[in-house]
Structure 1
């Protein structure tokens, strides 16, 4: 098992500010996102996709052709990373542009939750699929949203302005958006279901 973190770029809204890429063991991208890396003179370790949109494939980068249309580029990329032994992936470009892709990426995250540790980053927030007990530090003053997908039961929170005490959230009925962290360390627990936590910058 490889404990190093992967930088993965998808073809959503491109990052306005890139993280320190030196902290990543692997830099990779789907074929649609490769042009952003190329434009910013960033050389990935490999790229993957069906490559319908790239006329001239790079010759000094590993190219993994994945034409199977039964799976999304994100799903196929996660399988490649899993097969390579990686467990922790920071995902950029998963939101923005076409919102059906964004929802599909959340769906994919749930499918891989028992195999990979995924954290998503965009130009406004970071978000991830919560464990049954999740502690978050350095949170005071930040906007925290709890979004069930589609439901999460018996949620308890500590450190939020509007606490939950053994309450359920159900998409289409009640979700927990735009809460505020009032302490530096917050804790969120729930009994069952799926819950995404969004932390706005």
Structure 2
């Protein structure tokens, strides 16, 4: 499975592969078609190499012993980046690496599932980088996007849409949902707008005054 096709680096989203639950190979293949640059986080490297994916950069604190020459033998050329900062997660480091390299956007996979603490941290921590790089986190059941301001997109009727605040979000207003919000507040753990849906075929519009808001498109 190769990631290198006729696309231009830094004009298409990079692909960041974490170490959570694997996604469906078809989803991964679709993302690789449009990702000329692939970053793998720490211990996920062996799972990725076994899939035959072309990896451009391997990044992590490398606390576990690794045979770096064995990786190079299976994947050459590859940039190996040691990021020992224990105050940051591997996902933080991967996103900061791509921001420093000037990538405008990234698709993130294998960041959910398995450990609940890692999943929750990955889903919520991405908001800190929302103004520096466009992000979409995907798995077999969800597409998660941190909003950066007013949002408008066409959806088919009954498309499941959930809004999750990271902390508190004030002044949320929506149009086009089955249950619209009218200048309301959402707070994680107390009130969200989950299991909503597009009311009709057409545009859904979301605005909010302050805070960090995740848009989730989820399906069973």
TM-score, normalization: structure 1? 0.92
Distance 1:32 1:181 in 2: 39
Deviation of 1:2 after TM superposition, in Å, equals: 3.5
Contact 1:132 1:192 in 2 (8 A): no
Are 1:35 and 2:42 an aligned pair?
no
User: How many aligned positions are there?
Assistant: 201
Q: 2:214 aligns with which of 181, 196, 199?
A: 196
How big is the shift at 1:6?
0.5
Which of 120, 126, 133 pairs up with 1:103? 120
User: In the TM superposition, what is the alpha-carbon distance from 1:54 to its structure 2 partner?
Assistant: 5.4
Closer/same/farther in 2, CA of residues 114 and 131 from structure 1, 3 Å limit: closer
| Residues 104-113 or 90-99, more deviating | 104-113
Per-residue deviation at 1:36?
2.1
Residues 154 and 86 of structure 1: CA distance in aligned 2, closer, same or farther (over 3 Å):
same
1:3 equivalent to 2:11? Answer: yes
The structure with the largest strand share of the pair is 1
Other structure's SS at 2:55 match: coil
2:67 to 49, 56, 67: 56
Residue matched to 1:25: 36
- Provide the alpha-carbon RMSD of the alignment: 1.7
1:173 aligns with 2:184: no
Runs of 4 or more consecutive aligned structure 1 residues displaced over 4 Å after TM superposition: none
Q: Distance in 2 between matches of 1:192 and 1:62?
A: 39
8 Å CA contact 2:131–2:148 kept in 1: the answer is no
When structure 1 is superposed on structure 2, of 191-200 and 19-28 the one drifting more is: 19-28
CA drift of 1:73 comes to 0.8
Contact 2:172 2:184 in 1 (8 A): yes
CA offset digits 1:120-170 (Å, max 9, x no partner) = 101111011112211122342211111111111111111111111111111
User: Who is 1:131 aligned against?
Assistant: 148
| Kept after mapping to 2: 8 A contact 1:14/1:36 | no
Relative to its length, the structure with more helix (as a share) is: 2
Partner of 1:142: 159
TM-score, scaled relative to structure 2: 0.85
Q: CA deviation at 1:190?
A: 0.9
The one-character-per-residue Cα deviations of 1:101-130 (angstroms, maximum 9, x if unpaired) are 122223431221221111110111101111
Unaligned runs of 5+ in 1: none
